[in-house]
Each structure stands twice: as C-alpha cells, then as structure tokens.
Amino acid sequence: MIPSSYPDASEIARLSARMLLEIKAVHFNAEDPFTLASGLPSPTYVDCRKLISYPRIRSTLMDFMTVTVMRNAGLEAFDNIAGGETAGIPFSALVAERMALPMTYVRKKPKGYGRNARIEGAMSEGQRVLLVEDLTTDGGSKLSFVDAIRETGASCAHTAVIFYYDIFPETIKTLSDHGVSLHYLCTWWDVLAEAKAQNAYDTGTLAEVEKFLNNPREWQEKRMGNKG
C-alpha cells in the first residue's frame, strides 16, 4: 500500500535514528575502533541489514523512505525500483511494493556465466529507475550500480538510502557530478543527537564519537599513527 502520511523530515530523522539504536544496529566504541571496508578505523558502525529482522521497524522505515522519495522527487517520478547487491535488495523490494512498481536488482559485477548479466529482472530502455541501498558513506559505490542501470538505456538520477554518513564533504558532489540526487532518512548526526537524548552511551564515548564526526580523516590518521 502506498503510504499517504508525510511526517516532517526532522521527525523522520529522529525516529529513524531511534529505531536504529533500539535494535542495536548502531555501535560506538572509541577504545577499540571498528575497521571499515576501506581498512580505516572508526569509533562508529551501523548495520542496516539487521533491520530486515524487525517487521514493525522495517515497515515503518520503508514507509518513511517511500514518502521521502515521493516528496523530494515526485509521486510519478519512477518506473522501476532497483536494489544494489546485496544489502539493497530487500529494501528495494519493499519500496517497490509500496510504490506499486516493478523491482529489479543490480549485481556488483557480471555473474560470469549464462547471460553474464548485471541487471536481474525486467528493466527496459527509457525507464526512470530509483536505486535503493541500505546506506552510503562517500557515494562512490553507487556509481557502478548507476552506470549498470544506464547501460540498459534506462535513466537513473536518484538513489535512496536509509542511512547517510554525512561526514565526508565530497559525497554529495561525487553523486551530483554523476547526475544523481541522494535521498536519505537519517545521518550520524541524528544518531548522535538521539544517543545523547537517551543517555545510550557514556559521555566519554559520545565526546570521542563527536570528535570523529567533526573531522573523520584527522581522527583516522591519528589512530593509524598511534598503531605505527
């Protein structure tokens, strides 16, 4: 069913952050930082894939994503909803169901046999495609998915995520230079604010997380230097 209510964007952000904290999809650890896919350290980690196991939260967030996209891009702006392999697949299916649109998904690379396809499902020339993913950090990983969609003759000018880091200033420009607009529900800043409001972590941890969010590159360089 297509959602018909439109919560204020700030309330969507607050509630989305609250839900991520509630199911412990958010982790803060300044003493023993996490290692990101890039190999760099971080005192923060978010696991949006965990959301699929919580039906009430999953449903609410997908309602939020649907209304956010329709409000920002238009109610008749898309013909196809594509998920990025693998985390974006369940969320794209849920959004496609709400928007009453076809769903497809994009492989990270050709599967290497058969049709050697990157697009699974029916996507045709001229379709306007929304790329759905769980999160974005610097936006770079989205570009390969967008290019694969465009190679079919379809267009892709929008991507929607549950979580946007919002700490790397180049992200929006990277996507914009590629002709892509980003839509998201909440950021690290929203999670930090909600964590403070809930006293979810000790003040020392929250202070260290805030230092990281204000200058992630410097924080990482210091940590890497200390390791040496």
Q: Is residue 80 scored above 70 in pLDDT?
A: yes
Closest CA to 195 of 30, 68, 9: 30
Instruction: Report yes or no on 108 lying in a domain.
Output: yes
What is the C-alpha separation between 61 and 14, in angstroms, rounded? 12
Instruction: Report yes or no on 3 lying in a domain.
Output: no
Instruction: Report yes or no on 1 lying in a domain.
Output: no
Output the DSSP codes for 45-101: EE-GGGGGG-HHHHHHHHHHHHHHHHHHH-TT--SEEEEETTTHHHHHHHHHHHHT-
Q: Is residue 227 scored above 70 in pLDDT?
A: no
- 35 three-state secondary structure: strand
Of residues 86 and 139, more confidently modeled: 86
Average pLDDT, the chain: 93
Residue-wise pLDDT for 22-31, tens only, equals 999 999 998 9
User: How high is the pLDDT of residue 3?
Assistant: 74
- Report the number of distinct structural domains present in the chain: 1
What is the C-alpha separation between 130 and 96, in angstroms, rounded? 10
CATH number at residue 214: 3.40.50.2020
Closest CA to 48 of 107, 146, 131, 133: 133
Instruction: Report yes or no on 4 lying in a domain.
Output: no
Instruction: Report yes or no on 107 lying in a domain.
Output: yes
Alpha-carbon separation of residue 82 from 95, 145, 174 (angstroms): 10, 9, 20
Look up the domain containing 90 and give its range.
9-223
User: How high is the pLDDT of residue 175?
Assistant: 96
pTM to 2 decimal places? 0.93
User: How high is the pLDDT of residue 115?
Assistant: 67
User: How high is the pLDDT of residue 37?
Assistant: 75
